[in-house]
């Protein structure tokens, strides 16, 4: 008995490009095959004379004449709907290679084109690939396929012709096919099939009809393929396995339910912790009323971003402020520790002045921190180069850098930059006002401490403050947390001011409303976007998703990107917003003004209106209203943040966490 189609179609996965759903008629095609060659490739191509296929095709997901890798009589067929410009599709290509090696003759892979409309080069690349396939068959196609994914940022017409020449096809015929769009009907048939199957994102897979969406880990594919293969071996004759199983697929194995996430309580931001200065380099007098200890990393962009703020603070507070440097070279910054060693050697040779001169050079040249660069900076400072090279070769300053790291660990100063202002924590490249508020508060507290403790002078005030400070990090429950500070109350319903007009997807009367606060420069927000696409696909009209803005102050392009997305929404509605949003997330390293205008032009927006809106900051009031609404809830807002029928959680959590919360809300509304 045929199961309902929706039972077979998985929602979009955590890692996938997404496109708006459409309805279409399924295009069914017959296939003709030619025998597998010695390399195990059995391409399916159009032929002048039909050849009887050794394996029956399926009507719901036909192989047709699509490019194939693997034997025609394989027990398991993976049909992949993909896009040559989709970054998630390129990530999954090595996974498919690994699966081919693992399953050998039992597995074949079928390529279907699904170029998404907001990927400008995806359709031309698909046409080029099919032109190569027409001339050179499967071997040439898969070689061309690999070149496209290896060079995903270079898919212009000239690039496509260069790759075609490298696989040995006739360029005159290739160019003629592209000029005439000879293969677009086949590609559009694939796209229609994808839409009919509900595969509205890339990559999407059907394994003998069992759906998997997104660039999932290889283990997820193995689990599914093993279950499919076990049943395929029971089908007789073997040639019926694919057609029979597509009509009645194996249920997609769900991952084990994720345990409820309990967020550890954060360190108490008001706690005064003991942060010794030691022999660390400093700026400002030891008699300063306020000592700011900074844990920093010479390769960290946020550390570089906060340096001008620190310079202004020293100018503002003068002798009342001392800034102390501690090295916290993060392990994923390959050049951070050598840079720290170079700075400490400058300190050893030239004292505090030498350290700060090297410090400035390192931050001014943060993209150039190789050993050769470090030696050039040392030469400019006229350091003893024999001593300098020996210090780096022998890691002379490793002990002091390790000691700073150990102190950071004890204080839970996780991430850089991290500050302690008279022992009170401040995290990140915050706006200057946050620092001045903290320093002014520290000045008042210090003066009160001196009055209450006779014998305390400016010369010993920091030492005495630290003697009274805590040595262990204390945690305090935040608003909405349990009394023990172990976890927030998931059932607390927050009051959230509605947006006057915000991009939304789903009906106004949906039973569940997800208010999503995002920052277009935040990498975790980019990871959450495909999860929300999966939510839409899984829950349909039962869920409405409202996109709201929360640009973080230390992301310099986030505010203007939010304004740009709002203008896309005003011009073209929710669908235009979705396309523009996806362009921003896919190009997070390119969010300058000219980039924003380029994406607007690519999506067909009125660029003159777009520029005028950005020039006048037409939508900034709406963005700031969203920020104010989020802050007014009292929840600990970061990005991405979500309110599901008023219940708050944050972070790029897996789909299962969204599913659990949505299902709870649906059950409560029955």
- Please state, in angstroms and rounded to a whole number, the distance separating the CA atoms of residues 572 and 582: 15
User: Looking at domain 5-118+189-247, which of 3.55.40.20, 3.40.30.10, 3.65.10.10, 3.30.70.3150 is its CATH number?
Assistant: 3.40.30.10
Predicted confidence at residue 483, as pLDDT, reads: 38
Predicted confidence at residue 20, as pLDDT, reads: 37
- Please state, in angstroms and rounded to a whole number, the distance separating the CA atoms of residues 342 and 344: 5
Q: Which of 239, 256, 241, 188 is nearest to 210 (CA)?
A: 241
Query: In sequence order, what E strands does 68-149 have?
Result: 68-69, 76-82, 107-113
Secondary structure element (H or E) that encloses residue 437, with its range: helix 432-452
- Quote the DSSP letter at residue 443: H
Predicted confidence at residue 49, as pLDDT, reads: 30
User: Looking at domain 282-467, which of 3.30.465.10, 3.40.30.10, 3.40.718.10, 3.40.50.300 is its CATH number?
Assistant: 3.40.30.10
* Rg from Cα positions in the chain: 30
Exposed / middle / buried, residue 107 (Cβ in 10 Å: 0-12, 13-18, 19+): buried
SS3 484: coil
**Residue 195 token pair:** 């839409």
Q: Which of 318, 328, 288, 291 is nearest to 466 (CA)?
A: 291
Predicted confidence at residue 501, as pLDDT, reads: 85
User: Looking at domain 504-668, which of 3.40.30.10, 3.40.50.1240, 3.40.800.10, 2.30.29.30 is its CATH number?
Assistant: 3.40.30.10
State the CB neighbour count (10 A cutoff) for residue 406: 10
Predicted confidence at residue 23, as pLDDT, reads: 27
pLDDT tens track for 147-199: 999 998 889 999 999 999 999 999 999 999 999 999 999 999 899 898 888 88
Q: Which of 90, 170, 84 is nearest to 131 (CA)?
A: 170
Integer CA distances (angstroms), 13 to 61, 84, 199, 246, in order: 20, 18, 11, 21
Sheet containing strand 424-427, edge to edge, reads 282-283, 321-327, 290-296, 418-421, 424-427
* 321-327 vs 290-296, strand pairing mode: parallel
Predicted confidence at residue 52, as pLDDT, reads: 36
Decide if 613 contacts 579 (C-beta within 8 A): no
Integer CA distances (angstroms), 442 to 317, 340, 446, in order: 12, 29, 6
Predicted confidence at residue 44, as pLDDT, reads: 31
* 641-644 vs 512-518, strand pairing mode: antiparallel
Q: Where in the chain is the domain with CATH 3.40.30.10?
A: 5-118+189-247, 282-467, 504-668
Integer CA distances (angstroms), 128 to 116, 174, 180, in order: 16, 7, 12
For the chain of 670 residues, list the mean pLDDT of each consecutive stretch of 10: 33 39 29 32 32 58 93 92 89 88 93 85 94 95 93 91 94 95 93 84 90 84 92 87 88 51 62 94 96 95 91 96 94 86 96 96 94 96 96 94 91 88 90 91 93 93 94 65 48 84 91 94 85 87 94 86 96 94 89 94 95 93 88 83 92 82 80
Predicted confidence at residue 37, as pLDDT, reads: 34
């Amino acid at each position: 008995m045929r199961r309902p189609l929706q039972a077979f179609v998985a929602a979009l996965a955590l890692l996938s490009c997404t496109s708006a759903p459409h309805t279409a008629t399924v295009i069914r095609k017959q296939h003709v095959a030619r025998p597998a060659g010695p390399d195990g490739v059995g391409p399916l191509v159009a032929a002048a004379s039909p050849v009887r296929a050794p394996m029956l095709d399926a009507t719901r997901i036909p192989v047709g004449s699509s490019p194939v890798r693997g034997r025609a009589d394989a027990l398991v067929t993976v049909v992949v709907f993909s896009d040559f410009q989709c970054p998630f599709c390129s990530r999954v290509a090595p996974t498919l290679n690994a699966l081919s090696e693992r399953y050998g003759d039992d597995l074949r892979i079928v390529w279907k084109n699904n170029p998404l409309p907001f990927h400008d080069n995806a359709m031309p690349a698909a046409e080029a690939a099919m032109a190569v396939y027409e001339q050179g068959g499967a071997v040439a196609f898969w070689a061309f396929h690999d070149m496209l994914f290896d060079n995903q940022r270079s898919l212009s017409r000239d690039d496509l012709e260069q790759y075609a020449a490298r696989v040995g096809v006739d360029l005159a015929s290739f160019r003629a096919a592209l000029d005439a769009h000879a293969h677009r009907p086949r590609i559009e048939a694939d796209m229609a099939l994808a839409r009919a199957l509900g595969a509205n994102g890339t990559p999407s897979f059907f394994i003998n009809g069992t759906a998997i969406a997104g660039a999932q880990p290889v283990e997820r594919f193995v689990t599914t393929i093993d279950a499919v293969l076990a049943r395929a071996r029971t089908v007789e004759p073997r040639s019926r396995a694919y057609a029979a199983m597509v009509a009645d697929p194996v249920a997609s194995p769900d991952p084990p339910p994720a345990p409820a996430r309990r967020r550890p309580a954060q360190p108490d931001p008001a706690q005064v912790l003991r942060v010794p200065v030691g022999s660390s380099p400093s700026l400002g007098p030891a008699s300063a009323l306020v000592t700011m200890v900074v844990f920093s990393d010479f390769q960290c962009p946020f550390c570089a971003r906060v340096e001008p703020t620190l310079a202004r603070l020293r100018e503002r507070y003068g002798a009342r402020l001392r800034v102390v440097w501690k090295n916290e070279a993060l392990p994923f910054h390959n050049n951070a520790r050598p840079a720290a060693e170079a700075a400490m050697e400058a300190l050893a040779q030239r004292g505090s002045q030498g350290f700060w001169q090297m410090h400035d050079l390192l931050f001014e040249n943060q993209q150039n921190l190789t050993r050769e660069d470090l030696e050039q900076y040392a030469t400019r400072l006229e350091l003893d180069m024999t001593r300098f090279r020996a210090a780096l070769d022998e890691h002379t300053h490793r002990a002091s850098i390790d000691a700073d790291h150990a102190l950071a660990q004890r204080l839970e100063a996780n991430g850089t930059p991290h500050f302690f202002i008279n022992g009170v924590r401040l995290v990140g490249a915050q706006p200057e006002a946050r620092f001045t508020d903290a320093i002014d508060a520290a000045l008042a507290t210090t003066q009160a401490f001196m009055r209450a403790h006779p014998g305390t002078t400016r010369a010993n005030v920091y030492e005495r403050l630290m003697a009274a400070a805590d040595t262990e990090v204390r945690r305090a429950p935040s608003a909405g947390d349990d009394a023990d500070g172990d976890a927030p109350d998931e059932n607390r319903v927050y009051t959230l001011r509605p947006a006057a007009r915000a991009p939304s997807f789903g009906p106004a009367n949906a039973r569940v409303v997800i208010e999503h606060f995002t920052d277009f420069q935040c990498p975790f927000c980019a990871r959450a976007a495909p999860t929300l696409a999966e939510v839409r696909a899984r829950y349909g009209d039962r869920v409405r998703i409202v996109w709201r803005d929360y640009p973080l102050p230390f992301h310099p392009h986030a505010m203007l990107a939010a304004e740009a997305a709002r203008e896309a929404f005003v011009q073209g509605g929710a669908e235009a917003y979705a396309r523009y949003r996806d362009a921003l997330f896919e190009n997070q390293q390119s969010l300058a003004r000219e980039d924003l205008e380029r994406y607007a032009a690519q999506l067909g927006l009125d660029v003159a209106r777009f520029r005028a809106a950005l020039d006048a900051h037409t939508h900034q009031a709406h963005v700031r209203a969203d920020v104010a609404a989020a802050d007014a809830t009292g929840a600990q807002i970061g990005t991405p943040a979500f309110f599901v029928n008023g219940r708050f959680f944050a972070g790029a959590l897996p789909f299962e966490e969204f599913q659990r919360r949505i299902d709870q809300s649906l059950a409560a509304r029955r």
